[in-house]
């Protein structure tokens, strides 16, 4: 293998109900069949494969027969501040899934478990409003205890991804990329790449040693709107009675527009605070008179 690619953030039918109020009673987050996801990832150049369904590994049952597939999931975690965050956890055993679920609302216990088992994990879409509010102390946890940051998410705006990349560089974190695809059209369009890796072990070793890079697309209004329509269409096929809701389809572009409006506000606020703080420290350090060379002698 050369330049092994893996979409490190991709969903399937087993990601559970939609998190939007009311809609979650009849609509799923994703309707993609795991086998279709695998085949599409393969056609789009991935050499390693995983699913990161929300708090579930059920979809992985269909894919374990493939030697280049590994277990992953996206944990919905409660921070000590009371906020929620999505954490990608990669390449673990089935029995460890139970332990991860038991600890996902106790961050200290979760971090201890992840560290003791040497599991690879990341904070996903760090400058996104997707999981709700954020507190200043959350970023301290991310900086001190998380080895990786998702810096290229296929549904986050380019500016938000750029801020995440800058954050990872400032904090010396491993950068990850993934499509965050909830519809097949976006699957495999964003990925993480490790040159020279020949298998999963070398892929993760390359990531840990700083040899990885990210590639592919960011998100935009048209892309998200297309995927939302795709999810809505699949919902109608699974639950024909929801066809009665079809007049509301005209509002979907409005919903995606307001989603990105909120994303911009959230990203601008926290980017200015967290990245600006780093810049302020750097400016203050630069302003401190440095000793002349002979003073060090």
Q: What is the mean pLDDT of residues 245-252?
A: 92
- Domain 4-285: CATH architecture, name and number where available: Alpha-Beta Barrel (3.20)
Question: What mean pLDDT do residues 176-199 have?
Answer: 97
Structure tokens at 263: 């994303």
pTM value is 0.91
Tell me what the pLDDT averaged over the chain comes to: 93
Task: Check: CB of residue 260 under 8 Å from CB of residue 44.
Answer: no
Classify 258 in phi/psi space as left (phi over 0), alpha (psi -120 to 50) or beta. alpha
What are the tens digits of pLDDT across the range 77-119?
Answer: 999 999 999 999 999 999 999 999 999 999 999 999 999 999 9
Lowest mean pLDDT among 18-22, 107-111, 236-240, 255-259: 18-22
- Model confidence at 2, pLDDT cuts 50, 70, 90, reads confident
* pLDDT for the residue 295: 46
* Residue extents of the structural domains in the chain: 4-285
pLDDT at 275 over 90: yes
Task: Kindly tell me the sign of the dihedral angle through the C-alpha atoms of 12, 20, 186, 157.
Answer: negative
pLDDT tens by residue, 24-38: 899 999 999 999 999
Instruction: For residues 4 and 265, give the distance between their C-alpha atoms in angstroms, rounded to a whole number.
Output: 35
Beta-carbon contacts of residue 143 (< 8 Å; ≥ 6 apart): 171
Determine phi and psi for 75, rounding to 5 degrees.
-80, 135
167 pLDDT band (50/70/90 cuts)?
Answer: very high
Distance CA 60, CA 34 (A): 7
**What is the per-residue pLDDT for 282?**
55
């Amino acid at each position: 293998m050369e330049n092994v690619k893996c979409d490190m953030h991709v969903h399937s039918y087993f990601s559970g109900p939609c998190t939007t109020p009311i809609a979650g009673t009849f609509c799923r987050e994703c309707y993609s069949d795991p086998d279709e996801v695998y085949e599409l990832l393969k056609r789009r150049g991935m050499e390693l494969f995983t699913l990161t369904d929300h708090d579930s590994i059920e979809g992985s049952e269909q894919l374990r027969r493939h030697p280049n597939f590994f277990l992953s999931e996206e944990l919905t975690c409660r921070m000590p501040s009371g906020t929620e965050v999505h954490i990608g956890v990669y390449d673990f055993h089935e029995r460890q899934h139970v332990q991860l679920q038991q600890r996902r609302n106790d961050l200290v216990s979760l971090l201890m478990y992840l560290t003791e088992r040497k599991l690879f994990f990341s904070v996903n879409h760090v400058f996104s409003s997707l999981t709700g509010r954020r507190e200043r102390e959350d970023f301290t946890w991310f900086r001190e205890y998380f080895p990786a940051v998702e810096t290229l998410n296929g549904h986050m705006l380019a500016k938000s991804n750029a801020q995440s990349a800058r954050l990872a560089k400032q904090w010396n974190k491993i950068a990850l990329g993934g499509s965050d695809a909830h519809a097949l059209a976006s699957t495999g369009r964003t990925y993480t790449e490790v040159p020279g890796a020949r298998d999963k072990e070398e892929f993760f070793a390359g990531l840990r040693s700083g040899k990885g890079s990210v590639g592919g697309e960011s998100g935009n209004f048209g892309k998200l709107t297309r995927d939302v329509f795709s999810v809505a269409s699949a919902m109608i096929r699974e639950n024909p009675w929801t066809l009665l809701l079809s007049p509301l389809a005209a509002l979907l572009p409005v919903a995606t527009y307001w989603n990105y409006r909120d994303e911009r506000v959230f990203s601008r606020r926290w980017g200015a605070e967290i990245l600006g703080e780093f810049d302020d420290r750097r400016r203050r350090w630069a302003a401190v008179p440095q000793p002349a060379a002979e003073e060090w002698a």
